[in-house]
Chains A and B, each alone.
Chain A
Amino acid sequence: MIYASLPDSPGGIARPLPFHLAMEEHLARNYPDGEYFFMWQVEPTVIFGRCQNPFAEVNLDFCRREGIQTYRRKSGGGCIYADMNNIMFSHVTTSGEVTTTFSRYCRMVADTLRLLGLGAATTGRNDVVIGDRKVSGNAFYHLHGRSIVHGTMLYDADPARMSQAITPSQAKLRAKGVSSVRSHVTTIREHLPQLTIEEFKQFCREHLCDSVQEMTPADIREISRISEEYFTDEWIWGRYGNRETTDRHRIDGVGEFSVSTDLIPPPEPGMAARIRKVNLQGDFFLLSDLDEGLLDRLKGAEFTRDGIMEALSTASPGEVIAGLKTADFAKLLLGAAPAVMATT
């Protein structure tokens, strides 16, 4: 395999995730022959799968507070949290047959770890495990005659932070899209505390690759061009309207609600989404105009508990829907509601 080598970025600052995903695409599109491999790291970033709804899968509030970047990739699967202690492996191949390509790649990764004395194995879910814990998760993206297989390799991790970032603050919205499967993880460092991250990368590179392709300034210009798409709101927050979520809840004494919420994506990473429109249907008892009394007031409000409470501060939900309280309604909108919610 050929190692695709990238000069250090100016100032030694880690390049953002889109650059590396664009580098995979560049190799796939413009280097039609040969099998390529490269490794990269990013500052704290949550990456969701091609068809995921980030509002339902990611704790966007937490990411905003912690300065964690959020991007969408083109491969399938669930969302992940990555930081400089996680090494991303990218593999670009001409092989198009999904099952074979995937299992061959995962076996190759597991074999590399076994050479270090680790009890690594592959699983049916495209993961590499040590014992019964996941150390690497992989995803697949198929484009014109070429395949990209890429995945995580946890050198070290902070599982609490990881799980906080990729657990939505609201209990799961039943959104259309692909859900994440959560796993217990382990790390290379847990098993090999003496091995530094650079030594580990060096080992993988030497074991997996026998030649090098240096990325030229022209390559880097093309990669930057390809990466632009990954930075757009349209790409990150959903091209085909999948930020709209629908959920059904019951509030005892009030009725059953089917709520659909259409959100405006945050204008920049680190800010809150806003409500474009909310629709309510259900068997509740309506006392006055629903739009005027309740739903219109939410337009433009921040999609957070505080934002909703503020938008409704002068509303009287109980005069619009019999028995409805503001706090319960906010919870309902945020999807915090369990299937049955008591009015307290």
Chain B
Amino acid sequence: MSIVELSTETLPGVAISGLTIAYRTDAGELAAVSDITLGLPAGTITGLVGESGSGKSTLALSLLGAVQKPGRVTAGSVVIDGIGDITKLDEHALQSVRGAQIGYVFQAAQNSLNPLKTVGKQLLDLGRSHRVKDLRGLLREAKVLLSRMGLAAERVLDSYQHELSGGMRQRVGIMFALVLNAHLLVLDEPTTALDMITQANILQIVRDVHAERGLTTLIVTHDVGVVAEVADRMAVMYGGRVVEHGQTMEILGAPRHPYTRGLISAIPRLTGPVDAAKPLPGTPPTLGTIPRTGCVFRQRCPLRMEICDTVAPAMIGGVACHAVNETEQL
């Protein structure tokens, strides 16, 4: 559907098209990501929002060709400028691209560092794995990055993971992702499990390094607030599909898909009564309960129509919903 739509956007840093990723389970191959077409324009920050199990992390991993077994890409492509279709690369090519051209930052609560080695030693491992000749230069670059993020670089390089706080680990994670000059940065839940002030700090850092280094950034989160704060563009995922995407301000200002609307009205406001926030009724589907035909959201949808049971809505003008398309065409 969207080749035309992609071409209307600026030159994409990443073009995901028709991407389907399925996990092999006892009940057969189940798609965690279905037929997603999405562009990450060069130089932008894109926020990918969704509930747990919506397939957003699987999508993020696919940008590094790192969908974990028993999952695999069953259809579609992920074309990255300067690299090509990453789903077609062999293991050796993937190894040299990861870390060097695409940086990945884990959730802070996840331990992304080897607990038995200091940060500095792991940095040297990174350099050797990528055949960096000038290891001193690499250390220098790491120190610049760490100081830039407000850390005592020397001390951090000499520390083990357990000696760093959550916020420090996250900054170290960002340093690892960028120290080899990657231009595509993928952050998976970068602020989850951090306190509010640290969250704000990390987001500020993400914004700053993004601008300074001219990155293309994808930030995966379940927190609409994070997207509102940093992302130029956003995409909303539900049940393995992107249901709405576009400029962040436009979507947050006037959400069109009933799921997006539900998400936004579920956020409690700082002022006004607490119960003004309306939780979405029902629960998100799991891998096994995602509807195979029709619209994935219909069971929780207030605008459900007959056609929703049988036909998956096409992405038209940034939103995939039969009801919305019908009313907007009127």
A binds B: no
